[in-house]
């Protein structure tokens, strides 16, 4: 029997637990009631997740006597918008949610980001609980308190740092994920090994099939990823320094998402990050920081997982290196016009590099695009 693991995000009086294990969605009501006795809940979810998991959550909340209502939104990245943020906030107000009540995010990263931002501004802040239903959300977006919506000018440009009170990561709900979504989420798991844990990366190289199958290996991969992120967040909650390492591959990846206008039929977030991880390592090699052999090793592994590793599939959407540079210039990791990239000195040796010459990035992208 797979054991339940708990990872603590240590933020003093705002710290919280990430509970990880199979089948724990069905006991989430007990955990919520113990944490927030008497609270009423608004469940924010999307149409796809609602069909698969909403009834299980609602039944458990009914069993423990928690009053609740559901706000069901369209699925997809376009839901992270001003209009849907307004819909969630106005619906929560109509439900008469008070400051001691809670918004529950039941879904992937889009729902978690949107619901968390709504919780941060509703009555100047209500309780927020994450129940992530994708691998990507369980290991990344549900942890650490980053909440946001997208602007037409870029991804996650409007948001707030707002920590949840509890994260419930049921590893079994991932069995219902489409294969493409599971693989895409795995790119974020790989990222943690590439940042600062070469032994974890080596373990991942040898355990992809076991993780995909579920059981102990899946819980271990999720818990190790969450523990890595929790340790960084506890030291740098507001991304003043070290937390920027968690953006390895994201500057390139976010630019690609912006270019395809966040259309998931073309590119989902984890696929963009997969390409971004390769580009970050290749650019590091170009800047004489790491070996090209590391880049090739990463490409081989991502290929074996079934993730994209180059820009060839996006050629019809990427007009030029200039277009990519325009999106990179809007990235949140830009400071007063200077480019900040997360580079690497090898697998498990990522570092923050400030004032990267834009000309070097442009030349690199021109070559990657074939001229």
Residues 80, 84, 146, 155: which is the catalytic one? 146
228 & 148 share domain: no
Which of these, 95, 190, 89, lies nearest to 135 by C-alpha position? Answer: 190
Q: Of 155, 191, 250, 281, which residue is the catalytic one? A: 250
- Last residue of a domain, which of 119, 154, 173? 173
Claim to verify: residue 243 and residue 136 sit in the same structural domain: no
Active-site annotation holds for 77: no
The DSSP bridge partners found for residue 338 are: 335
Q: Clarify whether 26 is annotated catalytic.
A: no
Tell me whether residue 33 is one of the annotated catalytic residues.
Answer: no
Catalytic residue among 53, 68, 156, 188: 188
Q: Are residues 134 and 282 located together in one domain of the fold? A: no
Catalytic: which of 181, 239, 257, 271? 239
Q: Is the domain of 18 the same as that of 137?
A: yes
Active site residue 188: yes
Which of these is catalytic: 124, 179, 316, 336? 124
For residues 233 and 115, membership in a common domain is answered with no
Are the CB atoms for 33 and 66 separated by under 8 Å? Answer: yes
> Do 137 and 210 reside in the same domain of the chain?
no
Kindly report the CATH number assigned to the domain that includes residue 312: 1.20.1090.10
**Confidence at residue 337, expressed as pLDDT on a 0 to 100 scale:** 58
Threshold 0.85, pTM exceeds = yes
Q: What are phi and psi of 168, to 5 degrees?
A: -115, 110
Q: Are residues 309 and 216 in the same domain?
A: yes
In the chain, the number of structural domains is 2
Show the domain range for 42: 5-173
Asked if residue 99 and residue 34 are part of one domain, the reply reads yes
The pLDDT score that the predictor gives to residue 259 is 94
Alpha-carbon distance of 165 to 44, in angstroms, equals 16
Question: Domain boundary residue among 113, 142, 173?
Answer: 173
Active site residue 146: yes
CATH number of the structural domain spanning residue 116: 3.40.50.1970
165 and 275 part of one domain:
no
Let me know whether 160 and 226 are in one domain: no
Strand pairing category for 146-151 and 154-161: antiparallel
Q: Which of 143, 173, 203 is the C-terminal boundary of a domain?
A: 173
Catalytic residue among 60, 150, 156, 247: 247
Q: What is the pLDDT of residue 333?
A: 55
Indicate which residue of 53, 165, 229, 286 is catalytic.
229
pLDDT tens sequence for the chain (371 residues): 678 999 999 999 999 999 999 999 999 999 999 999 999 999 999 999 999 999 999 999 999 999 999 999 999 888 999 999 999 999 999 999 999 999 999 999 999 999 999 999 999 999 999 999 999 999 999 999 999 999 888 788 999 999 999 999 999 999 999 999 999 999 999 999 999 999 999 999 999 999 999 999 999 999 999 999 999 999 999 988 999 999 999 999 999 998 998 888 999 999 999 999 999 999 999 999 999 999 999 999 999 999 999 999 899 999 999 999 999 987 755 555 568 899 999 999 999 998 898 999 999 999 999 85
Examine the domain organization and report whether 248 and 330 are in the same domain: yes
Q: Are residues 110 and 77 in the same domain?
A: yes
The pLDDT score that the predictor gives to residue 331 is 72
- From the candidates 53, 68, 191, 254, give the one annotated as an active-site residue: 254
Confirm whether 124 is a catalytic residue. yes
């Amino acid at each position: 029997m797979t054991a339940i693991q708990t990872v603590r995000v240590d933020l003093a009086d705002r710290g919280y637990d990430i509970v990880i294990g199979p089948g724990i969605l069905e006991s989430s009501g007990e955990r919520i009631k113990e944490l927030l006795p008497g609270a009423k809940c608004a469940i924010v979810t999307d149409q796809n997740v609602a069909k698969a998991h909403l009834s299980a959550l609602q039944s458990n909340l009914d069993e423990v006597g928690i009053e609740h209502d559901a706000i069901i939104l369209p699925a997809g990245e376009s839901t992270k918008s001003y209009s849907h943020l307004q819909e969630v906030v106005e619906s929560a107000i109509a439900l008469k949610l008070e400051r001691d009540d809670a918004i529950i995010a039941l879904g992937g990263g889009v729902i978690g980001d949107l619901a968390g931002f709504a919780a941060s501004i509703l009555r100047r802040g209500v309780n927020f609980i994450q129940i992530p239903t994708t691998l990507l959300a369980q290991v990344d977006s549900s942890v650490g308190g980053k909440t946001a919506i997208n602007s037409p000018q870029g991804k996650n440009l409007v948001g707030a740092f707002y920590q949840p009170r509890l994260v419930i990561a049921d590893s079994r709900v991932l069995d219902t994920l489409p294969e493409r979504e599971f693989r895409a989420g795995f790119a974020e798991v790989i990222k943690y090994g590439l940042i600062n844990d070469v032994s974890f990366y080596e373990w991942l190289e040898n355990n992809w099939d076991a993780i995909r199958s579920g059981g102990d290996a899946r819980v271990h991969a999720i818990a190790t990823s969450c523990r890595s992120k929790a340790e960084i967040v506890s030291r740098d909650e507001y991304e003043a320094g070290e937390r920027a390492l968690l953006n390895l591959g994201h500057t390139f990846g976010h630019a690609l998402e912006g270019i395809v206008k966040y259309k998931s039929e073309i590119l989902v977030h984890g696929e963009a990050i997969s390409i971004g991880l390769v580009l970050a390592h290749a650019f590091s090699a170009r800047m004489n920081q790491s070996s090209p052999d590391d880049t090739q090793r990463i490409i081989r592994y991502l290929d074996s997982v079934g993730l994209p590793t180059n820009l060839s599939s996006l050629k019809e959407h990427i007009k030029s290196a200039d277009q990519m540079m325009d999106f990179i210039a809007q990235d949140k990791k830009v400071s007063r016009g200077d480019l900040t990239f997360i580079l690497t000195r090898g697998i498990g040796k990522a570092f923050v590099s400030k004032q990267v010459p834009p000309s070097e990035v442009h030349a690199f992208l021109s070559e990657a695009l074939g001229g």
